[in-house]
Chains A and B, each alone.
Chain A
Amino acid sequence: MEKPFIELFSTPNCFYVFEVNKNKFLPISYDAYQFLCNVMSDKNNTDEVPPEIAILQREGYLSARSVVERIQHPYSRFINTFLDRKLSRITLQLTQECNLRCKYCVYSGDKNIKQRSHSNKRMSWETAKRAVDFLYNRTIDSSKVNIGFYGGEPIIEFQNIKRIVDYSETLFSGKDLSFSITTNGTLLNDDIIRFFDEHNISLMISLDGPKQINDANRVFANGKGTYDVVMSNIRHLQSISPEYAEKLIVSMVIDPENDFDCINTICIDGNELTDINISPSIVDKEYDGKATTFSEEYDKKYEYQKFLSILSYLGRYPRNRTSPIANNMVKAAIDNYNRMKTSVGLYATDVPSGPCIPGQMRLFVDVTGKLFPCERVSEKSSAMCIGTIDSGFDFEKVYNMLNIGALTEDKCKTCWAFRYCSICAKKADSGGLGLSALKKLASCVESQNEAYAKLRQYLLFSEIPQFYRGQVRI
């Protein structure tokens, strides 16, 4: 039998073949599963095709070929329209200066040659105004607009923030305008808090966990930990603006080499960050040229907390005893599950999931007015720069980034994770002038592993009604 275009899954309850072309899971018997395992691993299999497999083949499943003939994003024709009329968010890099030297920060020190380092460069008011005007002239079809402040540490430029907010509120009068800021939280004072509250600026403060975890990485330039100062400022914020403080979000960068329970203690059991919204993310060491590694302690304990969170989702465990970090991740898994239920099969002209229209949803403007698709890409990379606020968008570059799958078309067309790929143009940035196919392909295994985990999660939720109904019934 020719190797079919599928991926095999097994759960404690069932065996499945994931039919890639039709984007469907088909439950199969153990024998059929073993047979297909042998086929997929090119083992010399002289066994007759099991009747179950033969029936699936007759019904149009298990084709050896991908139906995808060409990779092109369906919005390729509309790039100009969306970027000329429907920008929704801009993030302004107000400064490249920061009063911290966090050890994992992509801008810290000179160890990372692919990304810029901290400097005293700042965005002038004239550049900021031109950036806001740039956004304004391209939002006619946007129902909502957001202006974000970023750095370095953006609060260093608080006077500029005030000017930008004042200018924007007048300019965008009649539009649903919001602001957001990501800060290390060490420079907050009463004036700043009151200003943010008055203008309803969505506040995200970075804090990585309890003191010993946070202070291991998040340090001042003199090496001293930031936990005490940040927590003091959070408490102060809660006391002078309690209603505003309810909307505070804590951005928690998690290093999975640490013990998960240790990270988690800060937000449960009446501890410091109980009842505060947590936005967790795993540390990104890509621009350091390192892979992110997960310790066994982290894995085991995180999976346990995730299990409790899923039980809580099913109404079988009290929510207030679950980890907010795990809850966030389980919520994302549930959103994925609901989305996957309506996800469709592959088309002849199709595109791997992953890329957004560069610049449309989170346009990033650096201190000099250069445009990037988001704040996560390298500002030193000419491949990632998609224009300037003065010259406008480089639509050709935007097209190439949007159609990043076309860079490795032959590989992508035959990849089982086509519909669930998470690779965007950032992964194809080798620091050269253009996008690199080789660099992109180096991320395939990671993306496939992520897709595999997502699909296993999907299977868990879809098996609940069949295999766990009695156990989850309240």
Chain B
Amino acid sequence: MRTSAALFPFCAQFLPFVKWFSKCQNRYEINKLISLPGLAMIGRDASFSCNHPPIGINVASIPDVFDDSWDTLLISRSNDTCKANDEIYIDFAKKAVFANKNVVWCDNGQAYVPSKLSNLSNHGSKKLNLMVEDNRKIVYPNFGLEYTPIETPVIMVGGILEQADTLELTIQLSNRFTQDGHAVTTIVRNPFGQLFGFHTINHILERSDINENEKIVKMNNYIRAIEFTERPDVIIVEAPDALLRYSDKVSNGFGVYTYILSQAVSPDYLILGAPFELSAESLIAFLSNDFSYRLGSQIHAVHVSNIIIDSMDMLQSHELSFAYADMDMVNEYMHKNMNDTFPLFNVISDGIDNLYNYLCSLVDI
């Protein structure tokens, strides 16, 4: 029987987890989504955050949440759509503990957990459970610390923007491969994924005390160790940031983290998430050629996202700016722009089967 749970703070980045929560793990059942008021989601269906089809779960506000509908608070600070500081998360976690709730705090690694929470956990509060990647039981075989290529087929899922549904794609693919009986190792960016049995490599990638060369070797070692422990048929990796720079004014991270990761684990297949207006065949062909050299793989398929870039705001703010369009626009675009070279898919409205079947014809497992 699943433990009833609440998730805090809900925002767009968590929508894919919420959608697939029941299917991808057995331990918890989400009964409440709690959002910060400023995100303008209170009382709305959670899917409104990304303008996706409704999923039937409404978002609650903080004052209304401490009721009997849930026992465990699932909390992850690692998101970049909420402008909340640590104190808000810590304060809420403490309130939950004092309200006799259990708390599961998901974070990149032990070093990232706020000290106030670590102290609460260390002083015997059995109600607080820290879920961090570097506590996972991974067996390192005796192959030393040299860099060695991964043997299992690797599918990388990345986007022109981080927000172009890469997490949803990753989760859906992972779930679909698992449904067909394959052993799947999944690596995602958000440490909340640990609840699904996924891995993260942020505890290595975001270290500031080692250089990039060391990061690549350590990540390679770590993923090889996961490969050795879990013996997957396929490894699905979510790109840790956008695959490339967006423009001179809006660098969008330059794709640095993804490049570093691609050196640690070279992808055999690449699925691209792209805003629907940037899914033209000519552009995808150009990017595919670039990625084949830079990341080690061409683009094999494109998921068309309902994101619209707000160029006018970006000109002024020099920051990435976008909105989520109605899904009908995506369907209309796909209908007009289907091509054979880079098949277009939309896993949000059409589901994963088409993409999955296409990948099965490519992936050697």
* Contact flag A174-B37 (CB < 8 Å), given A140-B49, A357-B312, A361-B313: yes
Interface of A is mostly: loop
CB distance B48 to A175 under 8 Å?
no
Interface residues of A in 75-96 (CB under 8 A from B): 75, 77-78, 80-82, 85-86, 88
Which residues of chain B from 279 to 320 have any CB-CB distance to chain A below 8 Å in the complex? Answer: 308, 310, 312-313, 315-317, 319
Residues of B within 8 A of A170 (CB): 37
CB distance from A159 to the nearest CB of B (A): 24
Residues of B within 8 A of A349 (CB): none
Contacts of B37 in A (CB 8 A): 170-174
- Chain B residues contacting A88 (CB-CB under 8 Å) are 313
Chain B min CB distance to A182 (Å)? 18
Q: What distance in Å separates the Cβ of A323 from its nearest Cβ neighbour in chain B?
A: 25
Given known pairs A85-B51, A361-B312, A361-B313, the reply for A139 and B40 (CB within 8 Å) is yes
Interface string of B152-175 (1 = CB under 8 A from A): 000000000000000000000000
Per-residue CB contact flags for chain B residues 78-107 toward chain A (1 = under 8 Å, else 0) read: 000111100010000000000000000000
A174-B83 in contact (CB<8A): yes
Chain B residues with Cβ below 8 Å from A174 are 9, 35-39, 82-84, 88
The chain B residue sitting closest to A174, CB to CB, is B36
Question: Chain A's nearest CB lies how many Å from the CB of B13?
Answer: 12
**CB interface residues, A 90-143, toward B, < 8 Å:** 136-141, 143
Considering only CB atoms and an 8 Å cut-off, how many residues of chain B contact the other chain? Answer: 33
Q: Given A143-B319, A171-B38: A176 and B313 within 8 A (CB)?
A: no
Q: Are B248 and A173 in contact (CB under 8 A)?
A: no
Within 8 A of A (CB), among B311-335: 312-313, 315-317, 319, 321-326, 329
A77 — nearest CB in chain B belongs to which residue?
B329
Chain A residues numbered 158-182 whose CB sits less than 8 Å from any CB in chain B: 170-177
Question: Across the interface, which residues of B come within 8 angstroms of A339, CB to CB?
Answer: 315
**Docked CA distance A170–B319 (Å):** 26
Q: Is A239 located at the chain interface by the 8 A CB criterion?
A: no
- Number of residues in A with C-beta < 8 Å to the partner? 31
Whether A11 is near chain B, meaning CB under 8 Å from some CB there, is no
Q: Which of A80, A81, A82 has the most CB of B within 10 A?
A: A81
Say yes or no: A85 contacts B83, CB within 8 Å.
no
The answer to whether B36 and A173 touch across the interface, beta carbons within 8 angstroms, is: yes
Of B39, B83, B310, the contact of A86 (CB 8 Å cutoff): B310
CA distance A143 to B313 in the complex (A): 11
| Cβ of A460 under 8 Å from chain B | no
Interchain CA distance A82-B317 in the complex, whole Å: 16
Taking CB as reference atom, which chain B residue is nearest A175?
Answer: B38
**What chain B residues lie within 8 Å of A141 (beta carbons)?**
322-324
User: Is B41's CB within 8 Å of the partner chain A?
Assistant: yes
CB distance from B54 to the nearest CB of A (A): 15
Contact with B along A341-359 (1 / 0, CB 8 A): 0100000000000001100
- Would you call A140 and B39 a contact (CB within 8 A)? yes
Whether the pair B312, A137 counts as a contact (CB closer than 8 A) is no
Ordered nearest first, which 9 A-B pairs have the shortest CB separation?
A: A174-B36, A175-B38, A174-B38, A172-B38, A141-B323, A86-B323, A176-B83, A140-B40, A173-B38
Query: Which residues of B come within 8 Å of A, CB atoms?
Result: 9, 35-41, 48-49, 51, 81-84, 88, 247-248, 308, 310, 312-313, 315-317, 319, 321-326, 329
Tell me the A residues contacting B by CB distance below 8 Å.
75, 77-78, 80-82, 85-86, 88, 136-141, 143-145, 170-177, 339, 342, 356-357, 361
Known: A144-B317, A357-B312; 12 extra A-B contacts, CB below 8 A, are A78-B308, A81-B323, A81-B324, A85-B323, A85-B324, A140-B41, A143-B321, A170-B37, A173-B37, A174-B36, A174-B88, A175-B83
